[in-house]
Structure 1
Amino acid sequence: METTKDATRYDAVVVGAGVAGLACAGDLCGAGLRVLLLEAGDTVGGRMRTDRVAGFTADRGFQVFNTSYPQVKRRMDLKALRLRPFTPGVLVHTDQGPRRFTDPTRRPRDSRDLLPGRLASARDLAALTALSARDALAPASVLRRGTDGATRDALAAAGVSSQLVETFFRPFLSGVFLEDGLETSARFFHLVWRSMLRGTLCLPADGIGAVPAQLAARLPQDVLRTGTAVAALTPDGVVLADGREVRTRTVVVATGQRIAGELLPGLGVPEGRTVTTLYHAADRPPLDEPVLVVDARRRFLNTCVLTAVQPRFSTDGRALVSTSVLGSPGPAETDAVVRALGEVYGTDTAAWEPVHRVTVTDALPALPGPAPLTRHVRWAPGRYVCG
């Protein structure tokens, strides 16, 4: 391919304007460097994107904003996001009816299902209390240094029975880790559990895409170029898909794992988890509460009425229901999910209108334990990996 050189030489080029690339570019600009941020798509966000479909606001896959995410307070103007919270806890659909799993310190009046014998035994509740207290109160550094293995083994070691694992932890964590074997790193589970206990799950008024949009708005002018794909890295910088070469001695690859593997041959790329989110419109909300619902029979990962959390997600007053499933279900599987939703919500779903469907490949990297929680970002001289 014939190349033409960009006359400008940059201190650093960041490839990929997801939240990792945006944060990296912002930090480099803050250090006084001349930075160019290149994004192949038409806007920023990577997997954190929001679509406007049929009068609804629908994120590209079900996503939540946790106020205890690392660096959120440092980087984000939370007030500008106009966050609205989910009800603390989860509704679990069981064969005995709905059971509410909640933090009794936040919603004591909603904690009756935590009485022994309803959702869990007294022994399980004691084990869960001890596990949660440790994760919520211990410094994150202590959890990172803990013994690692699979999440299922960590729960067993904490004294959680297989019954509570199957009733609550497996259905709930399948939607968090996008795998239903509880094989994810135990240390990672403890850190995630800690963040949920300490933070609040919310949705921005304009969808999850408002988060990367806010980061992008803080970049200096002319740093960001969208619609600009990088074809390869060279000793002098990067070559764009249109043949132009951008000169720099430092390149930060902040793309998804597959593209990162193409740009940096030899980079260890983890297996990705795929998830599909189905969006349905209903004339009336099947549930008025802004709460996440999971199914003990694991016919789907989770579901919620998004417009109960953020009424702005609908322009005509109809309810928007989000439901996520592993992989990419076919028509028969999708129909079975909709029927299951009718049972879980206790309503007729035949008239629900499918308005959007999003399949996200490599939505999360697989992280079976034991696994390193951090990796070196320096790949080679002048070459770094971010995200």
Structure 2
Amino acid sequence: MRSTDGGRYDVVVVGAGAAGLACAGDLVAADLRVLLLEADGTVGGRMRTDRVAGFTVDRGFQVFNTSYPQVKRRIDLKALRLRPFTPGVLVHTEDGPLRFTDPSRRLRESRDLLPGRLASGRDLLALSALTARDALAPASVLRRGRDGTTLTALAEAGVSPQLVETFFRPFLSGVFLEDELETSARFFHLVWRSMLRGTLCLPADGIGAVPAQLAARLPADVLRTGNPVTALTGNGVALAGGHEVESRAVVVATGQRVAAGLLSGLRVPDGRTVTTLYHATARPPMTEPVLVVDSHRRFLNTCVLTAVQPRFSADGRALVSTSVLGSPGPATADAVLRALGEVYGTDTGDWELVHRVTVPDALPAMPGPVPLSRSTRFAPGRYVCGDHRATGSLQGALASGARAAREVLDDLRNGRTDMRIVSAS
């Protein structure tokens, strides 16, 4: 099905984030003539890694979940040289740190789940039933369940308001990037399932190694970086400088705001903004590779990244990552640093802020009820994919890109991609 009419492509994919890379890869595998255009100088979208002050620093705190079906299908896990987090979470409370962990993985470390410590006996029964259902049920069953908000789902499962405030709200605020627990209940159950069945890790070269691996599998003539698309035309796309690339179909695989600018009339969800502060210190405040959350909600989460991946430091210093909602001012950043001193039980006066990253639209808002997957078809010959068309996760982005490829292939085979219909309307 490869095009032979000069410089015309079968498909132009706009945006080389996870969704665009998955879509382009599947279309190339179907023997189409594909061009993948990326505005930036490298691939990955929000999954990017920088080198700052001798540290490997992701653009915002990101973890890699090994349980996602699309990850298992597409990623060579061994090549990423993954290092895992300790299963579970440390919760900083008035009574000191309490560990929330899966007894099936770390029975010796689950003493804080004894009744009366982190949760009551009734809460533990409710939590056990919720966990067993989500871990054992097929994902298709969870996707078809009645939707609402995460807060409602926890209440219906019998989880008390006390446990919600002590653990679920502090923890899930960092997962969903919102602290009202308004995110879709069905998505919550799928996320809970993925955490129970998978392992949270960090790649040795940062999260940017994931899209880099996908890009490396594309033929050399498919990907062009540093090529921003300024508009969609009746025959393809227009590039900066006025050059037009012709194609039979165009897939917009950018973030939701750029997608809405290229596709007039496209409705997109709001985005969640998060800021991550990276502090360097001579001595690690904690040697365990564990995620820490705060029951007072002064920040979303924190961890010693170099305890998870020692390769993130070039000179042996420790790197501490701490994330907060929105884009805090200096006063908030100072308050966070004081809170970290309390949480880690150390003096943070000599910690050096080596990097700060604010990521607008880090995740799409998913207030329940919400569809977990939507068609990528926008108009004849025009498609849109990304996590904002599915779920706010790497799984969602890859799955949406895969769906776009399937729908493009189906339409090309059945002659439903005439973009001139769009330009004339």
| Cα deviation, residue 335, structure 1 | 0.1
The TM-score, its normalising length taken from structure 1, stands at: 0.98
Match of 1:252 in 2: 251
Q: After the TM superposition, which residues 21-40 of structure 1 pair with which residues of structure 2 at under 5 Å, given as runs? A: 21-40=20-39
Please tell me the residue identity of whatever aligns with 2:259.
A
| Cα deviation, residue 241, structure 1 | 1.5
Please tell me the residue identity of whatever aligns with 1:368.
P
Instruction: Render the CA deviation track for 1:10-55: whole Å, top value 9, x for unaligned.
Output: 0000000001100100000000000000000010000000010000
Q: Unaligned regions of 5+ residues in structure 1, if any?
A: 1-5
Q: After the TM superposition, which residues 186-335 of structure 1 pair with which residues of structure 2 at under 5 Å, given as runs? A: 186-335=185-334
Match of 2:69 in 1: 70
C-alpha separation between the residues in 1 aligned to 2:187 and 2:285? 34
C-alpha separation between the residues in 2 aligned to 1:262 and 1:71? 28
Match of 1:89 in 2: 88
C-alpha separation between the residues in 1 aligned to 2:14 and 2:314? 36
Question: SS of the residue aligned with 1:250?
Answer: strand
Instruction: Render the CA deviation track for 1:256-281: whole Å, top value 9, x for unaligned.
Output: 00000000011111100000000000
| Cα deviation, residue 240, structure 1 | 0.5
Match of 1:127 in 2: 126
C-alpha separation between the residues in 2 aligned to 1:113 and 1:35? 54
Root-mean-square deviation (CA), in Å? 0.8
C-alpha separation between the residues in 2 aligned to 1:70 and 1:299? 34
Match of 1:353 in 2: 352
C-alpha separation between the residues in 1 aligned to 2:324 and 2:227? 32
C-alpha separation between the residues in 2 aligned to 1:70 and 1:359? 29
Please tell me the residue identity of whatever aligns with 1:221.
A
| Cα deviation, residue 183, structure 1 | 0.2
| Cα deviation, residue 7, structure 1 | 5.8
Instruction: Render the CA deviation track for 1:90-128: whole Å, top value 9, x for unaligned.
Output: 000000000000000000010000000000000000000
Match of 1:144 in 2: 143
C-alpha separation between the residues in 1 aligned to 2:350 and 2:375? 51
The TM-score, its normalising length taken from structure 2, stands at: 0.89
Please tell me the residue identity of whatever aligns with 1:291.
V
C-alpha separation between the residues in 2 aligned to 1:243 and 1:122? 67
Consecutive aligned runs of 4 or more in structure 1 exceeding 4 Å deviation = none
Flag the structure with higher helix content: 2
C-alpha separation between the residues in 2 aligned to 1:343 and 1:7? 65
Q: Unaligned regions of 5+ residues in structure 2, if any?
A: 387-425
Question: SS of the residue aligned with 1:22?
Answer: helix
Question: SS of the residue aligned with 1:11?
Answer: strand
Please tell me the residue identity of whatever aligns with 2:178.
E
Identity, in percent, stands at 83
Please tell me the residue identity of whatever aligns with 1:194.
R
Please tell me the residue identity of whatever aligns with 1:359.
T
In the alignment of these two chains, the number of paired residues is 382
| Cα deviation, residue 70, structure 1 | 2.4
Q: After the TM superposition, which residues 166-177 of structure 1 pair with which residues of structure 2 at under 5 Å, given as runs? A: 166-177=165-176
Match of 1:362 in 2: 361
C-alpha separation between the residues in 2 aligned to 1:93 and 1:75? 37
Question: SS of the residue aligned with 2:78?
Answer: helix
| Cα deviation, residue 68, structure 1 | 0.6
C-alpha separation between the residues in 2 aligned to 1:7 and 1:314? 49
Please tell me the residue identity of whatever aligns with 2:143.
R
C-alpha separation between the residues in 2 aligned to 1:114 and 1:333? 33
